Structure 1
Amino acid sequence: MRRTLSLFGLTAVLLAVVLAHPASTPATAQSDALGAHNVYALGVFSYPDHVRAIIDVLVPRTEVIVEARSSDTLWVLVHDLNRTVRGWVEADFLEYEDRKAVLNLPVSAEVMFIASESPRTGDYTAIDLEAYPVIPDRLGGALKIAQSGVVLGSDPHVISKVGDCISDNKNFLSPFGWGDYSLGNYGSLQPVIDQFASSLAFDSQSAYDGLVTNAALDPLFSNPLACQPGESPLRCEYRVHNPAVAVIMFGAQDLLFTPPDQFDRNLRQIVHETIQAGVIPLLSTFPGNLNRWDDAVRYNQIIVQIALDYDIPLMNLWLALEALPHHGLDDDGRHLSVPISTPGDLRGENLQRGYPQRNLVTLQALDAVWRGALEPSMGFLYPDVYTFPAIG
């Protein structure tokens, strides 16, 4: 039954991300927004035509803003209030605050961006993984995303974990939320721990054992106790926890089950949806796999290329683990090695183990994103009430 639903229903979500196509002219923003909502589940199309791709599904009674109409007024271009869904719906299936106002909307023929048809901008096989720093030395578009997040109401004290079992693990960041850690020579990380402490031990709706990229986008894999009907694990997590930053790491499971081209498309969609939600994607390379080393390199090259294409912060965990015994991996050759003492202990020999080392570089990367993007975004919008932390 789940398979049938996936084929004929909500897995249309996996085909697309709802962003404007670069070659199209976006609709003009309205000063007086026209509100509407759907009564029943409603397909969202990439273009006002039934032969075009269904790129999303509006769950029943989703509040939307109507931006524009097609020339024949049979379709309207809408986005939801969280700006995680944007596309064309049939006009007659919405209930409007003012039905007549639809006629006053600008006419548009905008084509929505479809991730599965997005060309890569470079040859990822030529990427040298050792050429990219462990901690992002440039943040690219992170500031702009953070400013969007402030407008949308993202919580600057919250991060989300997005990934497989290596992220859904009590050894990853959680001890810093519980207060069970020793910083040793890294006392300068205390302010960033304080900033995100309330969320570091959260149970994520988009990180669990065996999660692969396509499942993160598929409502069939959502937790029914926390997520709304038709809501993917990724969107559920962003709605439930309202983060400002998402630490995203996939690959360890995908290289076992997901072809490289599909991994590329899926991860691009995850990044797109994260940006649309006003959440900074902190994209991470993943640990190697001693049994499939060449595959691990290839999938990590894809991750780096996506970070470059979307101009987002990249944390090169793969490089950070290179000098560790067994590349920071456990005896099975694919999971991170466990700590000697505790995962929150950032002292001495403990940092020769995979999980403590990942905790260290993740906190350092979060510190860079926080100081370089989140803080300036708050100060930019609220200069009279927000102060910057001292660096050092």
Structure 2
Amino acid sequence: MIKKIGLLCLLILLYGLLGLVMTTAQGAISGVTGSSVLNVRELPDRSSARLTQFPPRTQVIVEARNEVGDWLLVSAPALSLRGWVAIGYVTFDREVRVMEELPVSSERVIDPAAQGTTGSPGEAPPVVIIPDRTDYPPVYLTNAVWRNVRNIWARGRQMGNDPWVLMKVGESNTAGTVYLCNFEWQAYSLGNYTHLQGIVDGFSRTGSFCRVNASAQNGFATVNVLDPQFAPSDICQPNESPLVCEVRRSRPSFAFIYIGLADTGILTTREFNANLTQIVQYLSRNGVIPILQTWPTADTFNGNNRPQLFNEEIRAVAARQNVPLLDFRSALYNYANHGTGSDGYHLSVRDETRSELTGDELIYGRTYREWQSLQILYDLMSAFN
């Protein structure tokens, strides 16, 4: 009898040690958020205060769950933020038995302004928020830029690129039908900007205002633009990145590039700069004029300084590569919510079904962006022809 009890105790001990070894081998539980911005809350409840928002596809470490298991306490090391998110918006990096592997917590997370690291709340000093510079010109077109774009334009003519075709590189502010499509659909008014009519007519004829772009998809970061696995198989060839695919199939002369928020959750500023430079250089070599665009965010996004720093990298790439820049972050700073809608990132608009340049461009971020996009096309085409 004593031997049986001893054997039973030994088996229990071995089972416990095996569980400990398995847990240690598995390591920290991590995952990635979805393709849209995600609300981060102080408690596991939709009615609790929103602390901040994670950009699309933010890498997170999962620390705990609530008692029911429908909320996760996560930290985003790259953003120095933590908080509660609904479990349905996180994809784990491995199979996770949520109720068994995650400890239960009911922690109230402090405001991001007091979060310096992903460690215990209150241990680190508050983050010093970098103020946005608002004195940048809305359009960056120096003499050096003009010389470079003339060379790119000439290269494009030699390569057979269509002067009336443009392409788009970006995420949900650019993908689909949210950007410039109304001009192709005749759902617009130019107001006092009648000089832009020729630009609208010319690019509408080629269908490039609203064509499907492999290089502009919801949730895209620069890494996706350069990665063949994200190229749509129905329009791209094997081993083509979305960028290479779109240049080949469209043969454009211009490329509007509005990208970076998703990168803030997965890349360093140096990595982002390198990727953006690679995109700009590829376009330039292939006779496509890259037109970079900075992107505004509401104050709820800016507490970790990532949007400010990444937009500075966009400006740096424009200056180093001598390509045009539309600085929306600076130009829209004094607009309501810095030119963004209720989610703090997608550009604001009065009526999604129409683009009215009759005053809306002075109030809404999306309309301002479309106005300035048409204007820079006008300036460039006027200089080339």
TM superposition score normalised by structure 2: 0.61
1:129–1:301: 8 Å Cα contact kept in structure 2?
no
Which residue identity lines up with residue 316 of structure 1 in the other structure? D
Q: Secondary structure at the match of 2:276?
A: helix
Which residue identity lines up with residue 306 of structure 2 in the other structure? D
Return the offset for 1:166: 0.6
2:360–2:368: 8 Å Cα contact kept in structure 1?
no
1:358-380 alpha-carbon deviations (Å, 9 max, x no partner): 111111122222223xx2xxxxx
Match of 1:137 among 138, 141, 158: 141
Asked if 1:208 corresponds to 2:212, the answer is no
Match of 1:347 among 358, 367, 370: 358
Match of 2:374 in 1: 363
Q: 1:152 to 1:242 in 2, by over 3 A?
A: same
Return the offset for 1:341: 6.6
Q: Secondary structure at the match of 2:213?
A: coil
Asked if 1:263 corresponds to 2:291, the answer is no
Which residue identity lines up with residue 192 of structure 1 in the other structure? I
Q: Secondary structure at the match of 1:204?
A: coil
Match of 2:170 in 1: 163
Match of 2:329 among 296, 318, 334: 318
1:216–1:232: 8 Å Cα contact kept in structure 2?
yes
Match of 1:173 among 155, 158, 180: 180
Q: 1:150 to 1:129 in 2, by over 3 A?
A: farther
Match of 1:65 in 2: none
1:244-277 alpha-carbon deviations (Å, 9 max, x no partner): 0000111122223322111111101101111111
In the aligned structure 2, how far is the partner of 1:259 from the partner of 1:225? 32
Match of 2:201 in 1: 194
1:317–1:361: 8 Å Cα contact kept in structure 2?
no
1:139-186 alpha-carbon deviations (Å, 9 max, x no partner): 331000010000011100100011111111423101111221101111
The structure whose Rg is larger is 2
Return the offset for 1:347: 1.4
2:291–2:324: 8 Å Cα contact kept in structure 1?
yes
Q: Give runs of ≥4 in structure 1 deviating > 6 Å.
A: none
2:215–2:225: 8 Å Cα contact kept in structure 1?
yes
2:164–2:252: 8 Å Cα contact kept in structure 1?
yes
Match of 1:222 in 2: 231
Which residue identity lines up with residue 380 of structure 2 in the other structure? V
Which stretch of structure 1 is more off in the superposition, 274-283 or 166-175? 166-175
Q: Percent identity?
A: 35
Segments of structure 2 that go 5 or more residues without pairing to the other structure are: 1-129
Return the offset for 1:344: 1.3
Which stretch of structure 1 is more off in the superposition, 145-154 or 294-303? 294-303
Match of 1:233 among 242, 246, 253: 242
Which residue identity lines up with residue 240 of structure 1 in the other structure? R
1:146–1:278: 8 Å Cα contact kept in structure 2?
yes
1:247–1:281: 8 Å Cα contact kept in structure 2?
yes
Which residue identity lines up with residue 132 of structure 1 in the other structure? Y
Which stretch of structure 1 is more off in the superposition, 255-264 or 294-303? 255-264
1:282-340 alpha-carbon deviations (Å, 9 max, x no partner): 11111224323232111111000000101111111112211211111111111111324
TM superposition score normalised by structure 1: 0.60
1:43-98 alpha-carbon deviations (Å, 9 max, x no partner): xxxxxxxxxxxxxxxxxxxxxxxxxxxxxxxxxxxxxxxxxxxxxxxxxxxxxxxx
In the aligned structure 1, how far is the partner of 2:364 from the partner of 2:323? 28
Match of 1:84 in 2: none
CA-based RMSD: 1.9
Q: Secondary structure at the match of 1:322?
A: coil
Q: 1:230 to 1:260 in 2, by over 3 A?
A: same
